[in-house]
Amino acid sequence: MYRGWQQNVIYENGILYNDYLFNWDKVISYRWRSYNKNEFFRKGEYCILEITLQQKRIDKFFKLDNPKIKLKVNCGDREIINGILEKYTIIN
């Protein structure tokens, strides 16, 4: 239950997604997807960031089957995150 409450975070050294830190060298590509509006708890606009990762075994038991992860991003933070993505990824 604790893991379910943790948020996915984009850091300058990688992306924390479901308790795993993916370094930037694991990112193959990224693209911005749809824009949506939150109507209930956190009002405002958000967009979906889809990141394609190298398919890999994360640890002894867990393999990342789908190399695409989707992150919900506040639209106001898009430019900051886009700057980090452009700085640290090779392929856009």
CA distance 33 to 49: 6
Question: 32, 69, 72: which is closest to 51 by C-alpha?
Answer: 69
Q: Determine the pLDDT at residue 73.
A: 85
The CATH code belonging to domain 9-88 is 2.30.29
- pLDDT tens readout for residues 37-53: 765 666 678 889 999 88
Among 13, 23, 17, 24, smallest CA distance to 91 is for: 24
Place of tokens 């992306």: 15
Q: Please answer whether residues 33 and 48 qualify as being in contact, where contact means their C-beta atoms are separated by less than 8 angstroms.
A: yes
Greatest CA separation for the chain: 41
* Each residue's pLDDT tens digit, 71-83: 888 888 889 988 8
Helices (H) and strands (E) in the chain, counts: 2, 6
The domain ranges of the chain are: 9-88
Instruction: Give pLDDT tens digits for 12-30.
Output: 888 888 778 888 888 888 9
Q: What is the pTM of this model?
A: 0.71
